[in-house]
Amino acid sequence: MTHSRFFENVSYYFDKAAKHLDYPKGLLDQIKICNSVYSFKFPVKMDDDRFEVIEAFRVEHSHHKMPVKGGIRYSDMVNEDEVKALAALMTYKCALVDVPFGGAKGGISINVKNYSEKELERITRRYTSELIKKNFIGPGIDVPAPDYGTGEREMAWIADTYAAFHHGEIDAFACVTGKPLSQHGINGRKAATGRGVYYGLREAVRNKQLMDKLGLSTGLEGKSIIVQGLGNVGYHAAKFLQEDGAKIVGIAEFEGGIYDPNGLDVQAVFEHRLETKSILNFKTAKNFEKSEELLEVECDILVPAALENQIHDGNAPNIKAKIVGEGANGPLTPGAEEILLKKNILIVPDLFLNAGGVTVSYFEWLKNISHVAYGRIGRRYEESSVKNVIAAIEELSGKNLSDSQRAQIIRGASEHDLVNSGLEDTMIISFNQILEIMNSRNLSDLRTAAFIKSLDRIAKSYFELGIFP
Ligand code: GLU
């Protein structure tokens, strides 16, 4: 599968939406292009004393809001076109969910399986120092985060390297998000993208008008779902969807897929894969040696939560799901999208559905620059106020609450509660904004509506800056 047209694909969606807006061509061109593309190579010493040249990228797509924001991907498929496309998607994603950042993305062309932890640490620290040299990282400049192949561990190395180069800079730890909790991270960031996928799909299936068109009942209860990818996004999305009553009937990974029409226990599958190093042979589930075949199995919702270009002209005609929820960035090619739309399949687009990660990254960044954890100041006060209200009501009514009722009512919001509430609110508001645009403009798909919302916001901010008076 070639990835060399990913940026072109994102631009295609941009153009499709731009036709519905009345902005000058120059402004639209400015939004569409990548502002800065940094492509670089550096040597790293391996454990056996060999030197290896590492190829890496950081692309800042749009500086209309600062800092710019987006993950760093470690994969041997990383190339400039891919990073540009992912950076552009970050711009549109942030604007859509009203996160005040421009878009960026980074990538290192390595297969993490071929490197030891020490080698990965040296690669990550050196990558960070290259970004520092060129001013491509900083709390008010460019703030990376995890993506495919990276996680809390890499973010901690990045933060530590940046802090070492910026001794005394009080906001240094806001230079990257997705950090471990002990390193100024935030509760709920790790699960955030998957949780956002769950909130987003829950919102879509709640809508009677949309479900009627698909011949589906409203609500997640009993909906059959196939998930591609049991990484951070796929695992959490599947888990939350299952907890709310959906049936995860299939999970696809590199090594193959498994299918059980009665539903798979996501947590048990996750542990089975950790233990046996393969998803296959899980209890009585049916094995799919070719995992891509699982995407073509009948289900209500298909959630590609792995990589781009997974559904293309070749397999799109065989997709039988009624809804495709894009957990990954760019899992459909434009050709596939056209085929699916003709088949009356509802596509819940990536720039909305997987925006939970960057939304909670924004909360982490705010926590870092404000130097106080959410709930730290108000929680006890909130609890004692509620205690006083309960005491007054008990005295007036002559009746008392049970201890467990009291504890439940009194409990003030923790950081985790606040983060999840902000995330839920963001996903609900954004979905309804997209839907409103789709209906009022008589559009046939959610992606075009999402791009319209996003472009309109970005264009307006350029006008507010006075750049296009
Ligand atoms: N890599 C994630 C994404 O594609 C998160 C980015 C962030 O948190 O900045 O949205």
Task: Read off the pLDDT of residues 10-33 as tens digits, 9 standing for 90 and up.
Answer: 999 999 999 999 999 999 999 999
Question: Nearest C-alpha to atom 9 of ligand 1 is from which residue?
Answer: 70
**Amino acid letter at 267?**
Q
- CA 350 to centroid of chain Cα atoms: 8
- Cα separation, 189 vs 177, in Å, equals 9
Between strands 247-253 and 256-259, the pairing is antiparallel
Query: Count of CB atoms within 10 A of residue 408's CB?
Result: 10
Any atom of ligand 1 within 6 Å of the Cβ of 420: no
Any atom of ligand 1 within 6 Å of the Cβ of 358: yes
| Mean pLDDT of the region 321-349 | 97
Any atom of ligand 1 within 6 Å of the Cβ of 232: no
Question: Nearest C-alpha to atom 8 of ligand 1 is from which residue?
Answer: 358
- Cα separation, 32 vs 34, in Å, equals 7
From 83, 193, 366, 454, the mutation candidate for ligand 1 (largest count of ligand atoms within 8 A of CB) is 193
Q: Which atom of ligand 1 lies nearest, measured to the CA of 73?
A: 1
Any atom of ligand 1 within 6 Å of the Cβ of 329: yes
- Cα separation, 335 vs 314, in Å, equals 9
Of 47-61, 135-149, 369-383, the poorest mean pLDDT is in 369-383
Strand order in the sheet with 102-108: 36-45, 51-60, 102-108, 68-74, 142-146
Query: Does the annotation mark 105 as catalytic?
Result: yes
Kindly write down the DSSP assignment for every residue of 132-171, as one continuous string. HHTT--BTTTEEEEE-TT--HHHHHHHHHHHHHHTTT-TT
Q: Which of 32, 65, 69, 105 is catalytic?
A: 105
Mapping DSSP to helix (H, G, I), strand (E, B) and coil, where does residue 246 land?
A: coil
Q: Which atom of ligand 1 lies nearest, measured to the CA of 89?
A: 4
Q: Which atom of ligand 1 lies nearest, measured to the CA of 354?
A: 10
Q: What is the phi/psi pair of residue 157, to 5°?
A: -65, -40
| Mean pLDDT of the region 89-104 | 98
- Cα separation, 330 vs 10, in Å, equals 8
Closest CA to 337 of 445, 435, 216: 445
Which residues are within 8 A (CB) of 42 and not within 5 positions of it... i.e. 6 or more apart? 53, 54, 56, 126, 127, 130
In the chain the domains, ranked by start, together with CATH numbers, are 36-183 (3.40.50.10860), 187-375+413-469 (3.40.50.720)
What is the reported pLDDT for 462? 87
Strand partners of residue 324: 302, 347
Residue spans of beta strands (DSSP E) within 220-293: 224-228, 247-253, 256-259, 286-288
CB 362 within 8 A of CB 407: no
* C-alpha dist (Å) from residue 205 to 159, 222, 234, 271, 301: 39, 12, 19, 29, 10
pLDDT at 330 over 60: yes
Task: Read off the pLDDT of residues 215-264 as tens digits, 9 standing for 90 and up.
Answer: 999 999 999 999 999 999 999 999 999 999 999 999 999 999 999 999 99
Any atom of ligand 1 within 6 Å of the Cβ of 91: no
Q: Which atom of ligand 1 lies nearest, measured to the CA of 69?
A: 9
pLDDT at 183 over 60: yes
Q: What is the whole-number distance in angstroms between the Cα of residue 178 and the centre of ligand 1? A: 9
Q: What is the whole-number distance in angstroms between the Cα of residue 258 and the centre of ligand 1? A: 28
What is the reported pLDDT for 469? 63
What's the whole-number average pLDDT of the chain? 96
